[in-house]
Amino acid sequence: MTTINRVVPVAVWLLRVAGVVFAVAVLGQAVLAGMFVTGDVGMLTIHGFNAIVVVAAALLYAIAGIMLVRKDRTARRLITMGLGAFVVAFVQIAVGGSRVLVVHIPLGVAMFAMAAQMMRLALTYGRENS
């Protein structure tokens, strides 16, 4: 078994875990923000901590794509999605921290679409080539 063949199962596992964690964390962001808006002020702090989970999951997704691209050139889209999500999450943190909600809220909604696509790509990776 070559080194690449040993890395692929780990990378696919990492991709799937990161995709699901990203999607769940993005959903969690909406729930936490909603709880804050309804009066639970403590949820804003948890919303901020959860943002770090979103960023970390996006970065791990991109790393998994990098690990897979040596075996499968089509994995480049995984890297693009992961890095795109990473950048968008940082922009979200910046505009949210600055309280620019006119950008923060629509961008958060757009992240739902990104999370759904990332999770779909992660959970179906390797199956479309079989």
Break the chain into its structural domains and give their ranges. Answer: 7-124
pTM: 0.90
Contact criterion met (CB below 8 Å) for 27 and 19: no
Tens-place pLDDT, residues 37-51: 999 999 999 999 999
Identify the CA nearest to 90 among candidates 75, 111, 109. 111
Q: Among positive and negative, which fits the CA dihedral 108, 109, 115, 121? A: negative
Whether 102 shows a pLDDT value over 70: the answer reads: yes
Where does residue 126 fall: left (phi above 0), alpha (psi -120 to 50 degrees), or beta otherwise? left
3-state secondary structure 11-64: HHHHHHHHHHHHHHHHHHHHHHHHHHHCCCCCHHHHHHHHHHHHHHHHHHHHHH
Tens-place pLDDT, residues 74-101: 899 999 999 999 999 999 999 999 999 9
Q: 51, exposed or middle or buried, with CB in 10 Å at 0-12, 13-18, 19+?
A: buried
